[in-house]
Amino acid sequence: MTHKPLVMLVMSIMAPVLVGCGPRRTTTVDPPLDPVFRETGEPLGYRRQRPAGRRSRSQTTRPSRRPWTVANLSNRWKYIIVHHSATQAGGARRFDRAHRDNGWDELGYHFVIGNGSDTPDGKIEVGSRWRQQKHGAHCRVSPGDSNEYNKHGIGICLVGNFEYTRPSAAQMKSLTYLTKGLLACTHLPASAVHYHRDFDSTKCPGRYFPYARYKRDLRD
């Protein structure tokens, strides 16, 4: 007499129990954010991983909150000014510490877009200057300068040194998305978008920043 049917019966009964014996999934919790800024969800260009067994159809996501949304939008804004950090790594926390060490009151930019070093590639970080609708501290003030571009300019900094490398595709997608949103909410024309080098003796945001493509993408 064969025992094969009996073995198969036992295995069919035990299968659901065995499947449920794997390790439990754990949820990681990010450390609390410094009050000087907050992050706004997944970076543009992030590919969400679908569970195994489902149809593979990756989807590019946008930040969970619109980073330009504030309760009381000021009418002070006349310019959007793009910078690079001129560093290979960084993020809002690191730049905030550096700016305070230089004697500034806090992070000088309104927004920082990560490159995968301190924060994920394309991550948009919102500084408290934007949340408070406070003037920037991202353009050097020369003697006799009225501080026009800090008083009325929204400062966006992309992490990286674009004198030597290009910004990532994720950074540029986030920059375009953020810039379009800021133009819409402030009712500024595309001609209000400038670069740090337009107002100061600097090469910022660098020779490898895709100037023409960025302006073209803003029109699309």
Q: How far is CA 56 from the centre of its chain?
A: 26
Percent of the chain with pLDDT over 70: 70
Percent of the chain with pLDDT over 90: 62
List the single range of 15-24, 57-66, 103-112 with lowest mean pLDDT.
Answer: 15-24
DSSP 106: S
Cα–Cα nearest to 104, from 81, 127, 137, 55: 137
Domains, the chain, with CATH or none? 73-219 (3.40.80.10)
Kindly state the average pLDDT of the residues 8-12.
Answer: 43
The model's pTM:
0.73
Q: How high is the pLDDT of residue 143?
A: 66
Strand order in the sheet with 37-39: 37-39, 124-127, 111-113, 153-158, 79-84, 193-195
Question: DSSP letter string over 117-174?
Answer: SSS-TT-EEEEHHHHTT-----SPPPTT---HHHHSEEEEEESS-TTTSPPPHHHHHH
List Cβ neighbours of 192 (8 Å cut-off, separation of 6 or more). 78, 79, 80, 183, 186
Cα–Cα nearest to 182, from 153, 159, 208, 158: 153
Kindly state the average pLDDT of the residues 19-40.
Answer: 35
Cα–Cα nearest to 182, from 76, 66, 93, 100: 66
Look at residue 216 and tell me whether its pLDDT is greater than 90.
Answer: yes
Give the Cα separation of 102 and 109 in Å (integer): 14
